Structure 1
Amino acid sequence: MDLNWLRDFECLARTLNFTRASDERNITQSAFSRRIKALESWVGLPLVNRATYPVQLTEAGKQFLPVAQAAISQLSESRQSLRDADRGDSRFIRFSVLHTIAVNFLATRIEELQKQIPDLRTRVLSDSLSTCCDLLVEGAVDILLCYYHHTVSPMIDETAFERKDLLKDRLIPVAATQPVRALGWDLSRQDGPPIPYLAYDRSSFLGMVVENTVDRKPQNTETIYVDSLVETIKRRLMTGSGFAWMPETSISAELDQGLLVPIGDDAWCATLTISAFSNPASLDQIAHQLWQRL
């Protein structure tokens, strides 16, 4: 059981539309459908009648909906109670953040901020975009950090939360230097053997950005590996297994050392923004200082 399945089901029961519900949950419709099917497999019965328009809940779905809503509510309340009890004298400022931003940006930034704010205590929760957004909206974290892109933007009510753009990042098609030189890998070439492609899962944020921008151009490539995590794909990348679109912040050292090289010009790149979301009015003094200096 995944709590996200219950949230997905509650959203679908409210909208009765797979497209609208997947948009609200910040995932692709195919990934959303897989999660609803996974929940149905766990229950052991169909919860949604897909033969009608709009879709309708089955009798089992109607019976299960209040159970799902109660579980979401009780778990959220329990988490909030634990969070409040944890505050004590050493208040932890909580972040929800995409994994690659936590590794390649936030860790260094927090270290810098702790020199400026000695009493700063932080706790970082790394997860998917939809879960990170849920944690902010439910009040389980103080600040959300995520990528922001005009084609795939997080569904955050900017009348309730303030957005602060922190850093421009780029998705660059890169590969290990040795196979690029030996095999002549270049995305502008349409001849020769296809270039092995290490791809992001289409349900992930970066997967959706790539799919909606640079991945639509004609290219002589063959997908050989799919994953949701930048760091996992990077490991395959460093062994020379193929090429991948990587956030520049995650490979800056490897580019400087010449271990990785781009295999396409700027037309094959996409620009991202690392953005932070919070409600400054709800922050205590130390958290407000952090927000101002972030």
Structure 2
Amino acid sequence: MIDLVSLKDFLVLCQTRSFSRAAERCHVSVSGLSRRIQGLEQWIGAPLFDRRTAALELTQPGERLQAISSEVVYALEGLRKSIKADGEDRQQRIRFAAPHIMSAVFFPDWVPRLHNDFRSAKFSVSSDNLPECFEMLAEGSVDYVVALFDEAGAVAARAGSACEAGDCLVLELGRERLVPVSAPNAAGGPLFDLRDPAGAPVSFLGYAEECHLGWSLAPLLERHAELRLQRHHEASLTDGLRFMALSRLGVAWLPQALVREDLDAGRLVRAGGTSLEVPLRFMLMRRRAPLAEQAERLWRHLGELVRAEAPAQGEPVLESVA
């Protein structure tokens, strides 16, 4: 019979060439070490040491086993350490999937707020379109999905089946708005004005079909059929639409956090009133199945914040996280 302990004891004996010294290093009795070596010899079918000399000498089969055992023990020890490290890393890792926009308007502000309470945690974010994010959640390759949901339910209706039949738990993490913006004209007003009483056609910068922010915007545009929008350009990423708006190509509905600095600096201006804005909510979603240690701790932490803050309507739930 062969096992890892016997191979490691054999290698120690190869180094010391002494049963007594090897037994001391292996924390086993001399007789116990001798039985292990005899077991190896029975398994291999040949003596491993020449015991006729004062100092043990390896036989030819012993030399061959020594070479192979060194590689085997090294590989198995490396595998054990790697698996242990992977398990420890998994317990500390918190995995998110989120649409691309969240990397601009959510995570840069949110993750630092959690730093003091989650110093040992490792945050990872996978960016994709929302249906693919829900697929990752359903497969268990991420712990959470974070996305912007509209109050009309347009995104929820199209988000996929990952949270059907009450299989998901949800927390609201804050509020956001889609606001219509345009490059300014010479007078400082919107170059593309949705409030133009003349009702002139307005160049519209729209979201590509796969972008969930476009799903949230669609009900508002249906309600305001009086807007004469001409869809000239589109993009799947908000950064693309922002660049087009800055380039004076039309009006775009963009997350307020994304364009706040542009509005403050006058590079962009609002192209319509508050009735043309789309209220959104930052929603955190998970499966009911148990998560890894740090991911579960995050859920409990956020749940406690929600209950403690009980924020007024419109205030972000995580405002107090520092």
Indicate whether the TM-score tops 0.5.
Answer: yes
Q: CA deviation at 1:242?
A: 1.5
Q: Does 1:132 align with 2:133?
A: yes
Q: Does 1:101 align with 2:102?
A: yes
Unaligned 5+ runs, structure 1: 1-83
CA shift digits 1:232-265 (9 cap, x unpaired): 1111112222110011121122223332211111
RMSD: 2.4
Unaligned 5+ runs, structure 2: 1-82, 303-322
Q: 1:268 to 1:148 in 2, by over 3 A?
A: same
Q: CA deviation at 1:216?
A: 4.3
Q: 1:212 to 1:183 in 2, by over 3 A?
A: closer
Equivalent residues in 2 for 1:29-48, closer than 5 Å: none
CA shift digits 1:2-47 (9 cap, x unpaired): xxxxxxxxxxxxxxxxxxxxxxxxxxxxxxxxxxxxxxxxxxxxxx
CA shift digits 1:79-109 (9 cap, x unpaired): xxxxx99844323221110110122102321
Say whether the 8 Å CA contact 2:167–2:288 is kept in structure 1: no
Q: Does 1:277 align with 2:285?
A: yes
Q: Does 1:236 align with 2:244?
A: yes
> In 2, distance between residues paired with 1:255 and 1:282?
43
Structure 1 partner of 2:188: 181
- Aligned pair count reads 211
Taking structure 1 as the reference length, the TM-score comes to 0.65
Equivalent residues in 2 for 1:161-176, closer than 5 Å: 161-176=168-183
Structure 2 partner of 1:288: 296
Structure 1 partner of 2:114: 113
Structure 2 partner of 1:213: 220
Say whether the 8 Å CA contact 1:191–1:220 is kept in structure 2: no
Secondary structure, aligned partner of 2:120: coil
Say whether the 8 Å CA contact 2:182–2:190 is kept in structure 1: no
Secondary structure, aligned partner of 1:207: helix
Structure 2 partner of 1:61: none
> In 1, distance between residues paired with 2:190 and 2:301?
46
Give identity over the alignment, percent. Answer: 25
Say whether the 8 Å CA contact 2:147–2:283 is kept in structure 1: yes
Secondary structure, aligned partner of 1:102: helix
One-letter amino acid of the counterpart of residue 279, structure 1? R
Say whether the 8 Å CA contact 2:174–2:283 is kept in structure 1: yes
Say whether the 8 Å CA contact 1:166–1:274 is kept in structure 2: yes
Q: Does 1:253 align with 2:261?
A: yes
Secondary structure, aligned partner of 1:89: helix
> In 2, distance between residues paired with 1:133 and 1:270?
23
Structure 1 partner of 2:155: 152
Secondary structure, aligned partner of 1:116: coil
User: Which residue among 190, 199, 209 is the counterpart of 1:202?
Assistant: 209
One-letter amino acid of the counterpart of residue 130, structure 1? P
Taking structure 2 as the reference length, the TM-score comes to 0.60
Secondary structure, aligned partner of 1:202: coil
CA shift digits 1:183-233 (9 cap, x unpaired): 753212252653221111134211122122235412133222111111111
One-letter amino acid of the counterpart of residue 170, structure 1? R
Secondary structure, aligned partner of 2:234: strand
Q: 1:221 to 1:181 in 2, by over 3 A?
A: farther
Q: 1:128 to 1:292 in 2, by over 3 A?
A: same
Say whether the 8 Å CA contact 1:179–1:185 is kept in structure 2: no
Q: 1:122 to 1:291 in 2, by over 3 A?
A: same
Structure 2 partner of 1:11: none
> In 2, distance between residues paired with 1:152 and 1:180?
37
